Structure 1
Amino acid sequence: MEVTIQANVEAKAYFDFILSTVQTSLEVAGSNEKIKKGITFEKSLNTGFMKTEMCKVKVTDYVYPKIIELDYVSKSGTNTIRYVILPKGKDACEVTYRETKYDANHVEKKIGAWSEKGYRKKLEKRMNAVTQYLIEQKNKNETNTAGQ
C-alpha cells in the first residue's frame, strides 16, 4: 500500500522528523550508533489488541535526506516500510509512504479493500499531523527568534 501527501514544509525537516523517531527506537534498543544502511536493532512491535512481540529492524535503504526503508522482521512475517521525500520548492515536499507486508514464507499479504481504505485514511491523517507539528515548531522558533 502506498500513500502520498503534499506537505507545506521543507523536505529536510520532514525527513529529519522521521529519522528522529527511528533514532529514538535505536537508542531505546541500547545503541548509540547513527542511522545508516545495514544497521539492525530490536524493537517491541504491536501485533494486535494488547499483544506485542520483539522484532528485528534493519535499515535496508538510506539516502539522506530523501529515502529511508526499514524491514521489521518478526515471527509472523516482515513489514517493509519505505519513505521517499521529494522537495517541491523551499517550503514544500511530496512525502510517499509505502508499506508491504509479507508472511513468514515471504509471500506478499494483501489487505482487504475496506481495511486498506481505513488504514490509508489513518496514515494520511498521521502524515498530515507530522506536517502540522513541523509548521507549528517552525512558527514557534521564528517567534522566539524575532522576540530576541
Structure 2
Amino acid sequence: MTGVSYDSVEKGTALPQRSYRVTRLDLVKYAGASGDFNVIHWNERIARSVGLPTVIAHGMYTMAQAGKLLTEWAGDPGAVTDFGVRFSAMVPVPDDDAGATIEISGKVLDKLEGNQVTVDIVARADGAKVLTRARATVRLP
C-alpha cells in the first residue's frame, strides 16, 4: 500500500481490509523479539492445562497487526502518534501450516488539526472480535 494524503480522506473513509496470517513460528519469533516467553504462546500442553483451546497469539502481536495496517495505509511507520486497544478475545493458533488469520479493517472517524486523523479499527479472528476500543491517531502528509 502507498500512503494516503490528509486531503484525500474524509470522515467515514474506509481503510482497505487486510488479512494477516499468524503461525506458531510467528509466535516464537515474536517471543524472541519481545522477550515475552509466556508458555501459553508456544506450549500446547501448558496452554490446554490452563483451560485454553490451544496456543494463543500474544495480545500485543495482535495489536501490532492492527498497527501494521495503519502504517501501510499511511505509508510511514512513524505516522501513528497514538494507539490504544482493549483485548476482547483470544486468537487461537493451530499447530499446522495454515495457522490463524487476523482480519483488520478501519474507518476514519474524524479529521484533526495538524494533518491528523482518528481511525477506528476492527480486528477479527475466526469470526470473533479480538480488539475493542481500538483507536489510533495517524498523521498524514
User: Which structure: greater helix fraction?
Assistant: 1
Q: TM-score, normalization: structure 1? A: 0.27
Highest relative contact order (Cα 8 Å, sep 6+), 1 or 2? Answer: 2
